[in-house]
Structure 1
Amino acid sequence: MEEVEVVVAHSQRATLRVGDVFLKVDADPAHADIEVRAMALAPIPTPAVLWREPPVLAIAAVPGTALGILGEPSPASSTAWAAAGAAIRRLHDAPLPPWPGPRLDDLAAELETESAWLLEHAVLPAEVIRRNREIAEGALRQWKPVFMHGDLQITHVFVDGDQVTGIIDWSEAAPGDAMFDLAILTLGHEERLDDLLAGYGQDADREVIRAWWSLRSLTASRWLIEHGFDPDVPGCEFDVLRARMRDY
């Protein structure tokens, strides 16, 4: 009999694995709507949708293993990272999905609110928060929208050897900033940016990617803390913010 593995669980959603099937339970059915539509449109390998019975979405596991996990060195080869970059480029060059993406005003307001919360609760030295807030402003500019995955964490990209076998978790897909996807994939794995861009293309804006590292880490930290995760684990969000202080 197959065991049930809890992949992730919090108050908003849970993902369970039973054998080669993932069961995603989400309180907001709109997330599953977007995920199914985005996977159908994406020109790169994605999981097969097996069935859907709201609030549950069942998808097949993809072969291979994740590029890595946040907080640990990636075991994947430089060639695998370049292959991931090439796959992301194909996604970004595809026609835009027909629903709205993030708005600059909302991102700026979120940065303001979350930075203030971090300062109020003194979870990091004030200078670290303030300096990263300054860096993060570099991401808040007009961009040419692309087909953005929207949550391209390192655990969401699967490879087998040097080939990309699948990219999972598409509920945040939307028209958006290409540099955001590149930043999320390399968050905490900054030493792999050159490998990624070898496949993606060297026209990427490295300064904007660094700005997204700061913005993402600032805006995600409170949510992580309040949902039982620790952004202060070595290699994770707080270390990303501290690293920016060494850049200047």
Structure 2
Amino acid sequence: MDEVEVVVAHSERATLRVGDVFLKVDADQKRLDVEVAAMALAPVPTPEILWRKPPVLAIAAVPGTALGRLGEPSTASPAAWAAAGAAIRTLHDAPLPPWPSRGKDLAELTADLDSECEQLVTNGVLPADLVDRNRQVAEAALRPWTPLFTHGDLQLTHIFVDGAEITGIIDWSEAGPGDAMSDLATLTLGHEERLDDVVAGYGTDADLDVIRAWWSQRSLLVIRWLAGHGFDPFAPGCEVDVLKSRM
């Protein structure tokens, strides 16, 4: 009998694996709605939906291996990273999905970032100079953007490859109209050495300054949440190290 593996679990959602089946349990019905709709629309490889019975979505495992993992060196080839960039470009060039962005607008994002920076310093989570420097870097991402079809949570564990072929992109619950550079930044977070490979596949209009700004912004915004949900942003190569690399 296959064992039940807890892939990720916190108060908002959980993902379990039983053999070649993933069971996603989500307290937010809208996230599952978005996930199903996005996978149907996305012009890139996505998992097969086996069945759905709210609050559970069952999907089949995709072949291949994850592009990498935050905090660990990626063994994927430069060609695989370039293929990931090309797949993201295909997604961004697709028609916008027919639902509003699940993200925040520029004013809300700026306010949240300023509040989070204050909390990080006030609560002694990070030193003020580290927070201040990365808040300056993050400013480049706080600009108007043209919404494109984005994945919304494009961590490198969400892209699967076989050699230089993309075999599947998973976890679409945050998909919708958004900032294309945020997708590229999330993918390359903690793997700055792979950015050139991704851009080679994506195309020349990738804004490297904005991508780097998103590294700082994303890290600042998630550190306290991660620490409060059983993850370690202080682990080598993870979010705090990403912030330190901007100093």
1:31 and 1:214 mapped to 2: Cα distance? 26
Match of 1:98 in 2: 98
Match of 2:2 in 1: 2
Amino acid at match of 1:60: A
SS in 1 for 2:245: helix
SS in 1 for 2:160: strand
- Alpha-carbon offset, residue 119 of structure 1: 0.7
Amino acid at match of 1:140: L
Match of 2:195 in 1: 193
Amino acid at match of 1:191: E
SS in 2 for 1:52: strand
Q: How does 1:48-63 map to 2 (within 5 A)?
A: 48-63=48-63
- Alpha-carbon offset, residue 193 of structure 1: 0.2
1:66 and 1:110 mapped to 2: Cα distance? 31
TM-score of the pair, normalised by structure 2: 0.98
1:124 and 1:62 mapped to 2: Cα distance? 38
1:98 and 1:115 mapped to 2: Cα distance? 34
2:150 corresponds to 1:148? yes
Q: How does 1:12-31 map to 2 (within 5 A)?
A: 12-31=12-31
1:26 and 1:106 mapped to 2: Cα distance? 25
Which is worse superposed, 99-108 or 153-162?
99-108
CA deviations 1:151-173 (Å, max 9, x no partner) are 00010000001100000000000
1:16 and 1:153 mapped to 2: Cα distance? 18
CA deviations 1:66-98 (Å, max 9, x no partner) are 001000011100000000000000000000011
2:107 and 2:218 mapped to 1: Cα distance? 15
CA deviations 1:120-178 (Å, max 9, x no partner) are 11222110001101111111111111100000001000000110000000000010111
Q: How does 1:1-248 map to 2 (within 5 A)?
A: 1-101=1-101, 102=103, 103-245=105-247
- Alpha-carbon offset, residue 104 of structure 1: 1.1
1:7 and 1:178 mapped to 2: Cα distance? 27
- Alpha-carbon offset, residue 105 of structure 1: 1.6
- Matched residue pairs, number? 245
1:62 and 1:108 mapped to 2: Cα distance? 37
Gaps of 5+ in 1: none
Amino acid at match of 1:17: R
Identity of aligned residues (%): 72
1:238 and 1:51 mapped to 2: Cα distance? 39
SS in 2 for 1:180: helix
CA deviations 1:218-245 (Å, max 9, x no partner) are 0011100111111000000000000000
SS in 1 for 2:246: helix
Amino acid at match of 1:73: P
SS in 2 for 1:57: strand
Amino acid at match of 2:202: Y
CA deviations 1:17-49 (Å, max 9, x no partner) are 001100000111110000000000000000011
SS in 2 for 1:244: coil
